[in-house]
Amino acid sequence: MGRFVVGITGSSGIVYGLRLVEVLSSSCHEVHVVVSEEAKAVSESECLSWDKLLGLLRKFTNYVYGEYDFTSPIASSSYVIDGVVVMPCSLKTLGEIANSIQSTLVSRAVLNSLRLRRPAILVIRETPLSTLDIANMLKVSLSGGVVMPASPAFYTEPQTLEELIDFMVGKVLDVLGIENNLYRRWEGMRVTQGRNLCGRLYGRGDS
C-alpha cells in the first residue's frame, strides 16, 4: 500500500488530522505523523490532552515525530513517499512552505514532496484570509501543491459533526487517489426539504 506523511499543525481542527491518520492506517497504508508544538497546545484546548492524542496516534501508527526531528527518515527526499497532507495547516506553515523555508519537519516533508512532483495537500483552516495568505496559496499551487480550505459541504445532509469531518477527509483521499465512501457524492439536485439543515433549523418554510 501507500506511504504517506500527515502533518498536524497549530490551527483549529486537530480532529481533521487525527481522523485522516485513523482512516489511512485502517486502510493498511504506512502513515508517518508530525505534530507541531503549537498543535499540541491547540489539542489541549479543543481536542485531547497531548498524552491522550499521542496515545491515539500511536494506536494508529508507529511513526510519530516532533516537528524538529530531522533525524527521522521522512526528512530526506530519498525516503520516497506517496504524498504529504498537512491537516490542519496553519498560516505560519503555509507561509514557510510557500517561501521554501524548511525550519520544521512538516515544511521539509512538503517541500520534498513538491520537489519530487508528488502530491502535497495543505488543508487550510483559517478565515478571513489576507492578500498575503492568498498569495502564498497561489505560490504553493503554482509549485504543484493542492490548497484545500476546510470547508465541508451541506448537500450531503450531514446529521453529525463526524459526517462533516469525514467529508473533508474523503476529499483529501480523493486527491490522493484513494477510493473511499466517507461522504455521499453529488448525484444531481433532489428535493430534501425538511430533512436538510435549513429544514431542521427553520422548518419547511410553510406559512
Per-residue confidence (pLDDT) for residue 1, from 0 to 100: 86
User: Could you give the dihedral angle defined by the CA atoms of residues 18, 22, 28 and 29, in that order, rounded to the nearest 10 degrees?
Assistant: -10
Q: Are strands 3-8 and 30-35 parallel, antiparallel or unpaired?
A: parallel
Are the beta carbons of 8 and 35 closer than 8 angstroms?
yes
C-alpha cell at 189: 439536485
Name all domains of the chain by residue range, CATH numbers in brackets: 3-202 (3.40.50.1950)
What are the residues whose beta carbons fall under 8 Å from the beta carbon of 42, sequence distance 6 or more?
10, 11, 12, 14
Residue 53: predicted pLDDT: 97
Q: Where are the beta strands (DSSP E) in the chain?
A: 3-8, 30-35, 63-66, 83-89, 120-124, 146-147
Successive 10-residue mean pLDDT values, the chain, 207 residues: 96 97 96 98 96 97 97 97 98 98 98 98 96 98 98 89 97 97 86 67 64
Continuous segment of H or E residues that includes residue 136: helix 131-142
Say how many CA atoms lie within 13 Å of 186 toward its Cβ. Answer: 6
169 HSE (CA, 13 A, CB side): 24
Q: What is the pLDDT of residue 117?
A: 97
Q: How far is CA 183 from CA 19, 28, 37, 123, 162, in A?
A: 14, 20, 31, 17, 10
Task: Output the pLDDT for position 157.
Answer: 85
